[in-house]
Amino acid sequence: MINIDQIRNDFPILSRKINGHELVYLDNAATTHKPRSVINSLVDFYENHNSNVHRGVHTLSMEATDKFEEAREKISSFINSQTSQSIIWTRNASESLNIISYSWGNKNIGEGDEILLSPMEHHSNLIPWQELARMKGAKIKFLSLNIDGTLDLSNIDELITQKTKLVSIVHVSNALGTINPVKELCEKAHQVGALFVLDGAQSVPHMSVDVQDIGCDFFVFSGHKMMGPTGIGVLYGKMEILEEMDPVFTGGEMVLEVTYEKASWADIPMKFEAGTPNIADSIALGTAVDYLQNIGMENIHDYEKSITSYALKKFNTLESEGVTLFGPKSSDQKGAVFSFHIPNIHPHDLGTILDGMGIAVRTGHHCAMPLIKSLGVSATARASFYVYNTMKEVDTLIDGIKSAIRYFGDGSN
């Protein structure tokens, strides 16, 4: 069991008033708030330990290096990586995916090869592959989608073939909330010798993830969506694959031996981390992991599941008002992400009206333009929850939507 009041107390921003109302923050799929311990961790680093890493014998440099590498260890055990060497610091999930595409993709994808994606990928897990395919003459294929926003795997054996070199899939969709059967997909990819990339940006903040159990070759995520700072992300890769990859960025920190003519690369993960890394934010991401583990990922997942069930029920009552909810309708198949559409009210107008009530939702295409278009709308409103949200906030949202409908209907409040 978790104590929501206690958790909410840990997040200074949750006591802010927005337009005279208590903040109801439902834009967690975009970014999450930070507990005091994470904020303090940044302050503590700069006030007490600030120094560059791996470069000095003085005390501060050693402290900074220890904390920095300790954070890597925390991330490693958080996703159950075999070794912390498999954890490469990046800026965010997008950069992690780009590194895979530029480094592994450049070397291993050729003309006529196929890359398999799902139709619900974030632009970050679509465009790097489009670019790679364009440069190499490779082909991108897409899995099919069921009407309820789950993946249709009935034709998977036609789509995953000997030509398939890479399968890259989102673990939990930021637009629909769909939780994908990634273990099964990973197995299918491996059967034909393809690599399996998993975009965990929306999964690792909300559920326990075990990269060894899933079997994925790469796993990517962003710190800011899991209570950590912006500007820090992770690329996990299997060691034997990382060994064979070339660095995308070169320069300081990532070399072993340098002459005026050439250089040899440092060991993994340093080989992929050119220049001074984002030291303070890495350490604070480690603190975010501590915070999450302290609550317990199973507890977080269970609690959010109960929010999902409750919100699904509540959205049901809006059906008679014409509100369409996209994505799966069961909390087993869906994270706490609700993308919806109201006839005759454009999502941006809804967003502005809800903001007037202190409710923060996201409106637009959620960086999944082709998917949103395929739903037959140009934009949706999206409410996404985290462990600090309450059932009462679900009610506030639903009431807000109802009053927006009245607003636009006859102008009454």
Partner 1 sequence: MAQTSLDNLYKNSIILDHCRFPRNSSPISKIDFSGNAINPFCGDEILFELSLNDHFCIEEIRFEGEGCAITLASGSMISDHIKGMSIEEVSVFTEKFRLDMQTNSCKSFHNESDIFVLYDVMAFPVRIKCVLLACSALENLH
Ligand X SMILES: Cc1ncc(COP(=O)(O)O)c(C=O)c1O
- Which among 48-56, 112-120, 204-212, 361-369 is the span making contact with partner 1, rule CB under 8 A? 361-369
User: DSSP letter string over 371-394?
Assistant: HHHHTT-S-EEEEE--TT--HHHH
Each residue 367-386 as x (binds ligand X by CB under 6 A) or -, in order, gives x-------------------
- Is 353 a binding residue for partner 1 by CB under 8 A? The answer is yes
Question: For partner 1, which residue of 352, 374, 392, 399 counts as binding (CB under 8 A)?
Answer: 352
Q: Cα 124 vs. chain centroid, distance in angstroms?
A: 10
- Which among 1-9, 107-115, 122-130, 386-394 is the span making contact with ligand X, rule CB under 6 A? 122-130
Closest CB to ligand X among residues 151, 357: 151
Check: CB of residue 272 under 8 Å from CB of residue 26: no
Question: For partner 1, which residue of 19, 82, 144, 264 counts as binding (CB under 8 A)?
Answer: 19
Quote the least distance from Cβ 249 to ligand X, whole Å.
Answer: 17
Quote the least distance from Cβ 30 to ligand X, whole Å.
Answer: 6
| Binding at 346: pick from partner 1, ligand X, none (beta carbon under 5-8 Å per type) | partner 1
Burial (0-12, 13-18, 19+ Cβ within 10 Å), 261: exposed
Q: Using CA atoms, how far apart are residues 195 and 188, in angstroms rounded to an integer?
A: 10
State yes or no: is 367 an active-site residue.
yes
Q: Using CA atoms, how far apart are residues 286 and 75, in angstroms rounded to an integer?
A: 7
- Is 379 a binding residue for partner 1 by CB under 8 A? The answer is yes
Torsion-angle region of residue 366: left (phi > 0), alpha (psi -120 to 50) or beta?
left
Reference 122, options 167, 160, 176, 164; nearest CA is 176
Closest CB to ligand X among residues 125, 287: 125
Check: CB of residue 383 under 8 Å from CB of residue 25: no
Closest CB to ligand X among residues 71, 232: 232
Q: Using CA atoms, how far apart are residues 144 and 158, in angstroms rounded to an integer?
A: 11
Quote the least distance from Cβ 121 to partner 1, whole Å.
Answer: 18
| Binding at 355: pick from partner 1, ligand X, none (beta carbon under 5-8 Å per type) | partner 1
- Which among 117-125, 212-220, 328-336, 363-371 is the span making contact with partner 1, rule CB under 8 A? 363-371
The type of residue at 304 is: E
Q: What phi and psi, each to the nearest 5 degrees, are found at residue 59?
A: -55, -50
- Which among 80-88, 112-120, 237-245, 403-411 is the span making contact with partner 1, rule CB under 8 A? 403-411
| Binding at 20: pick from ligand X, partner 1, none (beta carbon under 5-8 Å per type) | partner 1
Residue 85's alpha-carbon distances to 77, 183, 386, in angstroms, are: 11, 23, 30
Quote the least distance from Cβ 391 to partner 1, whole Å.
Answer: 25
| Binding at 361: pick from partner 1, ligand X, none (beta carbon under 5-8 Å per type) | none
- Is 93 a binding residue for ligand X by CB under 6 A? The answer is yes
* Nearby residues of 158 by Cβ (< 8 Å), 6 or more positions away: none
Check: CB of residue 408 under 8 Å from CB of residue 345: yes
Half-sphere exposure of 94 (CA within 13 A, CB side): 10
List the interface residues with ligand X, window 339-368 (CB under 6 A): 367
Both tokens assigned to 143:
């899995």
Residues engaged in binding partner 1 (CB under 8 A): 19-20, 346-349, 352-353, 355-356, 363-365, 369, 378-379, 407-408, 411
Residues classed as catalytic = 367
